Amino acid sequence: MTRRTRGTSAGLDRARIAAAAVALVDRDGLDRFGVRRLADDLGVDPMSIYHHIKGKAALLDAVSEAVIAEMEAGAEEWPDDWEQVARRTAHDYRRMAYRHPRVFPLLATRPQSSPAALAAVERLVAAMRRAGLPDQVTADAPTTLFGFLNGYLLAVLSGGPGGPADPPAIDAAAYPTMAALAPLQSGFGSPAEFDRLLGTVLSGIRHQAAR
Amino acid sequence: MTRRTRGTSAGLDRARIAAAAVALVDRDGLDRFGVRRLADDLGVDPMSIYHHIKGKAALLDAVSEAVIAEMEAGAEEWPDDWEQVARRTAHDYRRMAYRHPRVFPLLATRPQSSPAALAAVERLVAAMRRAGLPDQVTADAPTTLFGFLNGYLLAVLSGGPGGPADPPAIDAAAYPTMAALAPLQSGFGSPAEFDRLLGTVLSGIRHQAAR
DNA sequence: TTCTCAAACCTACGCCGTAGATTTCACCTA
DNA sequence: TAGGTGAAATCTACGGCGTAGGTTTGAGAA
């Protein structure tokens, strides 16, 4: 792609830049992400990007916002039952994380305040309140749930883009119990494991509500 | 500090370098961390560091390892009850995270395989097995617990070194339930909140075991 | 037609990580 | 004691980075 001459439009805007940035991080990872590489992908001078987005940090904000917004595209019908809302939100979040494993650390590290993120939380707490759960339990639930989701998905995705890294062999002499349990860890990163652990967290919330 | 002439010892070794690196990240943050700045702190040529540690990535590995190792310093007496083991491990982990808030993202992002980390997990699963919990629940517990701890602490510490950022005002029209619950979020990052959420996760594990 | 201004480009600066060559000195062996 | 050896540290250099500041261009308003 050849450069435009000065003054002619390159058709840049925030959305197009963000989409290209997501694609670049997906392809090369966060370490290799940079303004110059992004400009290359866009067929544009690096400094042109600065007319739409203030700097590298704002660029990364745009990336995480774009990726969160993907979650919102889907059915608009949500169940009444808060546990179903939580499960579906969690699964949507997981799918998004697997679609963009190299973007995900960005989400887990920065506080999320985009409309899509806030809408998901509002949906969950509204359903919990409708169900008559205690206010403190309801207020804590998103922090607990997304805390778990972020930490767990970070661990599962840290092995690379394809899926989780298989854990290294365990020294059976030093860590006998871990070694004995190793066969049960075989599904690390699997949907079944995710469902199991999610169920554990949700049952914790359910039982706090019942006390 | 003046440079040594070539060949004279600067007293560098892996431990001294790691300690200086931890101090540098604590002071300036991960973004500002670099080999050249670290060398400045040590009063040493940047390339001298490479004789002891292979590169920047290995340097960051050494940082996270050093910080995890801090946790191990403490009483060697551990209770039998698995929930007490889990609570104490979690609180030790939290204290470490608050001591090094700018290092913490490193721990949550990379898989941990240092002896100190493995020892903590072995302690927990051994206690659970002794208590006769089902093997699958025991095998899942560290993943669930550290998933939550990593994600939650990441969120709480992302506001900066001192403590959590107070959340921005909520648009009451768009997110009425969140706005109504906002007063209950006031303790974000507090020990009381941590205890509450930790209790939720542990009760989830307890109830999975009872099924 | 002339003016204005946003969009894009160009140049340059000071950083960064690190490969490769070089210097120096402590210690071992004869 | 003389000479050899290897580890520790330094020096030099390269390509890449983020971005500040200045310049060019052309589209549309006046």
Identify whether residues B158 and B127 lie together within a single domain.
yes
CATH number at residue A115: 1.10.357.10
Q: Domain check: are A1 and A83 in the same one?
A: no
Of B111, B140, B184, the CB nearest to A197: B140
Which residue out of A103, A145, A181, A193 would a mutagenesis test of the B interface target, given it has the greatest number of B Cβ atoms within 10 Å?
A181
* pLDDT confidence bin for A192, thresholds 50/70/90: very high
For the stretch B54-112, pLDDT in tens is: 999 999 999 999 999 999 877 789 999 999 999 999 999 999 999 999 999 999 999 99
**Within a domain: residue A68?**
no
Nucleotide nearest to A57 (CA to C1'): D18
- What are the pLDDT digits (tens) for A72-104? 877 789 999 999 999 999 999 999 999 999 999
Range of the domain at B25: 1-53
DSSP assignment string, B160-209? -SSSPPPPPPP-TTT-HHHHHHGGGGTTTT-HHHHHHHHHHHHHHHHHHH
Residues with CB under 7 A from strand D: A 5-8, 33-37, 46-47, 50, 55-57; B 3-12, 44-45, 47-48, 50-52
For residue A163, is pLDDT > 90?
A: no
Q: How far is CA B70 from CA A192, B60, B109, B153, in A?
A: 35, 16, 19, 17
Do A116 and A152 fall within a single domain?
A: yes
Residue A35 belongs to a domain = yes
Residue B196 lies in a domain: yes
Rounded to an integer, the average pLDDT of B136-150 is 98
Minimum CA–CA partner of A152 in chain B: B147
Residue B2, pLDDT score: 47
Q: What local confidence, expressed as pLDDT, does residue B161 receive?
A: 62
Q: Which residues contact B168 (CB under 8 A, 6 or more apart)?
A: A113
| Number of structural domains found in chain A | 2
pLDDT of residue B160: 67
Same domain, A40 and A104: no
Cα A164 from Cα A142, distance rounded (Å): 25
Same-domain pairing of A104 and A196: yes
Is A153 a domain residue?
yes
Does the residue A158 lie in any domain? yes
Q: Quick check: is A69 in a domain?
A: no
Answer yes or no: do B29 and B90 share one domain: no
DSSP A166: P
A91-119: b (≥16 Cβ within 10 Å) or e = ebbbebbbebbbbbbbbbbbebebebbbe
* A42 and A7 within one domain: yes
Do the Cβ atoms of A200 and B209 come closer than 8 Å? no
Å: B77 CA to C7 C1': 67
| pLDDT number for residue B163 | 63
Q: Tell if B36 CB is < 7 Å from nucleic strand C.
A: yes
Same-domain status, A1 and A87: no
| Residues B33 and B81 grouped into a single domain | no
Residue B1 in domain? yes
Tell me what the mean pLDDT of segment A18-40 comes to.
96
Whether residue B197 is contained in a domain is answered as yes
Q: What pLDDT is attached to residue B72?
A: 82
Q: What is the pLDDT of residue A86?
A: 98
pLDDT bucket at B1, cuts 50 / 70 / 90:
very low
**Where do runs of H (alpha helix) occur along chain B?**
14-28, 35-42, 46-49, 56-72, 82-99, 104-109, 115-130, 135-157, 176-181, 191-210
My answer on whether A127 and A28 are in the same domain is no
Share of chain A above pLDDT 90, in %: 82
The separation, in Å, between residue B38 CA and nucleotide C16 C1' comes to 13
Instruction: Judge if B112 and B17 occupy the same domain.
Output: no
Specify the CATH number for the domain of residue B2: 1.10.10.60
Q: Are A97 and A31 members of one domain?
A: no
